[in-house]
Amino acid sequence: MSFFNLWKKTNKKSDILQEYYGEAKKLKKSLSENIKIIKDLLGNPNDLIIREIVISEKGDKKLAVIVIDGLTNALFVHDFILKELMLAIRTTDLDDEIIKNTKFVNIIKNHSLPISDIDNLDDFKKLCEKLLSGDTIILFDGYNQGLVLDTKGWKDRGVSEPSAETVVRGARDSFNETIRTSTMLIRRRIKDINLRIENKIIGEVTKTNVSVVYIDGLANEKIINDLKKRLEAISIDGILESGYLEELLINKAYSLFPSMYTTERPDKVCANLLEGRIAILTDGTPFVLVIPAVFIQFFQSTEDYFQRSIFSSFIRLLRFLSFFLALLTPAVYIAITTFHQEMLPTNLIISISGQRESVPFPALIEVLFMELTFEILREAGLRMPRAIGQAISIVGALALGEAAVNAGIVSTIMIIIVSITAITSLIFPEYNFSNPIRLLRFMFIILSAAFGLYGIALGLMFLTMHLCSLKSFGIPYMYPLAPFNFKAMKDTFIRTPINTQFRRPSIFVEDDLVKQNKNNEVIKQTSKKGSELESEN
Amino acid sequence: MKIKYFCIFLLPFLLTGCWSANELNELTLITSMAIDKEEDGYLVTLAITVPSEATINAPGRSASTVVSSTRGINACDAFRRTSSKISRTPNLSHIQNIIISEELAKEGILPAIDCIIRDDQLRPTSFLFIAKGVKAKDVLAINTSIEHSASSKISQMIKNAEVNYSIVNAVSLVEFINSLTTPDKEAYLPGIGVYGDLEKGNTVDNSQDVAPSAIIYLAPYALFKKDKMIAWLDDYTSKGVNFLLNDVKSTMINYQCDNDRYFVLNVRKAKTKIKVNTKGKVPKFTISADIKGTICQADCRLDLTKTSKVKELENKFQRVIKQQLQKTMANLQTNYTSDVLGLGGYIHRKDHKLWKNLNKDWEEVFKNLQYEIEVKVTIVQPGAIINPITNDDK
């Protein structure tokens, strides 16, 4: 409660804020007055650096360089702003006629500052925003104008290996928390004039940079406009992670299945851009959203395209199998052992019932106990400090393993089932996708405990209905399965070789469908008789 | 509106529920069943698995299967009464074998079998046997090695016999009921018996001994007329019946070439076709058997490297098999007058009007059926060695 009260209080803007932080509150002419207002606006913080300098010998041309320490590249400010203004400028005769006739601000802007991104400024709102995002402000005494210089430079994590989506073969870079680095990584891969990066600032307080990236001519116009409209409609105090946007942008916020693809891999984003999808980059997080997302997408890894197609196809089929194993194994175990004992081979049922002899609980309790234990261990494993990780994992292995069996709390087969579900739910290239499976698994466990295989069948039916009803930015979630598209089957359950894939998925792309030119002479030749090198061999 | 749809979604869940759920450790798995006829009713014996003893990690101190017999005025009554002796709900879905005593089979098997086939849990693929020389319940009480119980031993044994022996084959419940209910076919069932000491056979020691005191074996077919058993076949006729039924997978054929010396054919493939010609007054059958095999033993001197000699041997085997089939047919026609081959069915399918006429006194017609037997034997290869290892000149 107190938190909300506090919020209300700060929301009541103080007098100074009301006076100068509006749209039309222009800068004053007096430098000292301006500085005072800035100090008041920001509360005169420790990291606010205001360097007042005099540049003319007479002492009549005063200016102030204002930076926030830590957000700017200190060396850069020193070398290319302060040095220029304080030393290099002395060689110019400021009293020269031509110079006298032009405005002092423009002289400094056009002649003295060797900085690429420079802009004029005349109100406090823009001043504060730029100052707080790491730019350098120069204010002049006697002018109600200032300059904004792009000197952003802060401690950055650097481009490191992706932690959530690893590959054996493929690029090893990942996005980081700085949006500029992220756009750089995309630009490095797609050097097309049609690559559009549109910026937007979202968040009343955080003023987070959000970039919408797409390839003009490939991405569906309707989806882009829809997305922009939805971004426009967002009014929130802060965006700290792309997860905020994900929930703000989607229709069915209560569906378990992700309707946006989240990734930290630039190569994945680029592949999606080439298919006509749209990426949303958020400052402050390495995770990029890709829309529209379809169900099948979560079974595909970038590495599928880097390996030989037969092997990739095998791996993909394996993922589909794992999906059902992760979802249904415990449920089927319950259904078969409590309802359909006749379905197992006699020797197996005898063996299972022998193991279950000493277990005092019904199969449902046994399964829930083990699955919940695993979920707790998994969550604890994610959150705990690394240093005590080992101790916990030993305890976890013991609790889940031998000890539980020996104590007669669970049967050995239960350990196998929990292990299968645990491993299979981690096979998906997109980590988010295992979350709906984890939750639905419990739904299926309850269904099977109450209704047996019949319940599982009903559950699967409703799941299918739900999935078919989902849409991601107007695109059916189950595409290309429902609505069925035969051509897209080349890259769904299996992946055919790249030289057989000529078209982009028609559902995302507006009109430029050709991915690979079929009539290309080289392709024709190689696909007909193999390249010369091959035939020589 | 949404609530309405949600209610419709909930409807299918009303069709079923937890009431049919049974925890595994509240069930008792029954792997075999034996039915005996007693003076004042029926004796039903169940082979009950002891799960903790049947698993790999079992200590092996006690038997993995226990047997429980209960009397009742009829089969169903007796079966229900077993619950007064068992601590858990019996689960019949894993019954592999049903053994019926000879006396009961001779009096008529239907009263015992109806209760079994009517049960919704019991598999129609479980095997039926007739106990030969012992009570049906005694067979289940024999402790065995290799397999963990008599039940699994019996079902494995009959599968093995089918593949390697072909004197008796498994007959499932559904097959048996089919032959009972069709008028153009008679039923047959494999027999099962016990050699040795029944008393010692049901101890745990029996499975631990190198030479067990008692052992279960498969006996040749028992023939039925309607639902009554009429006779036991011997090995020779039983194999003949299997040949005629086109049920031989692999077996051996002996040809005596000399006093105490044999050529043995290891049958690898056998196909018997029965055709009927209903053009004449009396239907005429053509039975043709095509048999392929290897030589499994050769005691007499014969140069098997020569094609002509192999041909000679083939002809000899042909004669042996033809004789066996002829004897079998004669036996079935005159001694037992039981149409286990379903020859009536062949007429029925070919010419149903004729069958309507013949049906009335099929027994008489069957006795005098005309048939012709053609046998073709091909020796595919002589085995790892070619010529016989003999040191005499014969």
Interface probe with B: pick from A252, A333, A346, A411, most Cβ of B within 10 Å: A346
**Chain B nearest CA to A444, separation (Å):** 14
In angstroms, rounded to a whole number, what is the distance separating the alpha carbons of residues A462 and B113? Answer: 43
Cβ–Cβ gap A351/B56 under 8 Å: yes
Mean of the pLDDT values across residues B239-264?
Answer: 91
- Residues of chain B found within 8 Å of residue A354, distances taken between Cβ atoms: 51-55, 57-58
What's phi and psi for A298, nearest 5 deg? -75, -10
Portion 425-454 of A in contact with B at CB < 8 A: 449-452, 454
Neighbours of A36 (CB within 10 A): 14
Of residues A512 and B295, more confidently modeled? B295
At residue A536, the pLDDT reads 45
Contact A110, A7 (CB under 8 A): no
Mean of the pLDDT values across residues A316-345?
Answer: 93
For the ranges A21-30, A146-155, A210-219, which has the lowest average pLDDT? Answer: A21-30
Mean of the pLDDT values across residues A432-446?
Answer: 92
Interface probe with A: pick from B10, B25, B93, B151, most Cβ of A within 10 Å: B25
Cβ–Cβ gap B29/A338 under 8 Å: no
Name the band, by pLDDT with cuts 50, 70 and 90, for residue A2.
very low
Question: Considering CB atoms only, which of A351, A450, A452 is closest to B55?
Answer: A351
- How does pLDDT run across B342-351, given as a tens digit for each residue? 999 999 998 8
In angstroms, rounded to a whole number, what is the distance separating the alpha carbons of residues B68 and B34? Answer: 10
Task: Say if strands B41-49 and A288-291 run parallel, antiparallel, or are unpaired.
Answer: unpaired
pTM of the prediction? 0.84
Mean of the pLDDT values across residues A509-524?
Answer: 64
- Residues of chain A found within 8 Å of residue B121, distances taken between Cβ atoms: 342
Cβ–Cβ gap A454/B31 under 8 Å: no
Above 80 in pLDDT, residue B281?
no
At residue A537, the pLDDT reads 42
At residue A95, the pLDDT reads 66
Cβ–Cβ gap A351/B54 under 8 Å: yes
Contact B161, B249 (CB under 8 A): no
Share of chain A above pLDDT 70, in %: 87
At residue A1, the pLDDT reads 44
Instruction: Specify the domain boundaries for CATH 3.30.300.210 within chain B.
Output: 244-381
A469 touches chain B (CB under 8 A): no
- How does pLDDT run across A460-478, given as a tens digit for each residue? 998 999 999 888 888 899 9
At residue B275, the pLDDT reads 92
Residues 6+ apart with CB under 8 A from A127: A27, A38, A121, A137, A146, A148
- Residues of chain A found within 8 Å of residue B58, distances taken between Cβ atoms: 354
Place of tokens 């259904």: A335
Question: Considering CB atoms only, which of B18, B24, B58 is closest to A356?
Answer: B24
At residue A529, the pLDDT reads 52
In angstroms, rounded to a whole number, what is the distance separating the alpha carbons of residues B171 and A294? Answer: 54
A364 touches chain B (CB under 8 A): no
**Chain A nearest CA to B157, separation (Å):** 15
Q: What is the ipTM of this complex?
A: 0.83
Per-residue HEC secondary structure of B133-163 comes to CCCHHHHHCCCCCCCCCHHHHHHHHHHHHHH
Above 70 in pLDDT, residue A524?
no
**Chain B nearest CA to A417, separation (Å):** 17
CATH superfamily of B244-381: Nutrient germinant receptor protein C, domain 3 (3.30.300.210)
DSSP B48-64: EE-HHHHSTT---SS-S
- Residues of chain B found within 8 Å of residue A358, distances taken between Cβ atoms: 52
Cβ–Cβ gap A341/B22 under 8 Å: yes
Mean of the pLDDT values across residues B198-227?
Answer: 87
Mean of the pLDDT values across residues A298-321?
Answer: 92
Name the band, by pLDDT with cuts 50, 70 and 90, for residue B226.
confident
Name the band, by pLDDT with cuts 50, 70 and 90, for residue A60.
confident
Mean pLDDT estimate for chain A:
85
- Residues of chain A found within 8 Å of residue B16, distances taken between Cβ atoms: 451-452, 454-455
Q: Which helix (H) or strand (E) holds B273?
A: strand B261-277
- Residues of chain A found within 8 Å of residue B123, distances taken between Cβ atoms: 342
Of residues A507 and B152, more confidently modeled? B152
Mean of the pLDDT values across residues A23-30?
Answer: 77
Beta bridge partners of A291: A278
Q: Which of A329, A335, A368, A344 is nearest to B51 (CA)?
A: A344
Name the band, by pLDDT with cuts 50, 70 and 90, for residue B131.
very high
At residue A395, the pLDDT reads 79
Domain boundaries, chain A: 2-149, 179-293, 308-476
Mean of the pLDDT values across residues A479-489?
Answer: 85
Task: Say if strands B284-298 and B370-381 run parallel, antiparallel, or are unpaired.
Answer: parallel
In angstroms, rounded to a whole number, what is the distance separating the alpha carbons of residues B189 and B172? Answer: 9
- How does pLDDT run across A259-277, given as a tens digit for each residue? 899 999 999 999 999 988 9
For the ranges A342-346, B10-14, B23-27, B132-136, which has the lowest average pLDDT? Answer: B10-14
Place of tokens 């086109």: B246
A75 touches chain B (CB under 8 A): no
Share of chain B above pLDDT 90, in %: 49
Q: Which of B89, B91, B72, B73 is nearest to B81 (CA)?
A: B72
At residue A517, the pLDDT reads 67
At residue B264, the pLDDT reads 92
Mean of the pLDDT values across residues B250-255?
Answer: 92
Residue of B nearest to A348 (CA): B55
Across A131-144, b (16+ Cβ under 10 Å) vs e yields: bebbbbbbbbbebe
In angstroms, rounded to a whole number, what is the distance separating the alpha carbons of residues B153 and A264? Answer: 60
CA distances for B245 relative to A127, B132, B188, angstroms: 100, 23, 11
- Residues of chain B found within 8 Å of residue A355, distances taken between Cβ atoms: 55
- How does pLDDT run across A336-390, given as a tens digit for each residue? 999 988 889 888 888 888 888 888 888 999 999 989 988 988 888 888 888 887 7
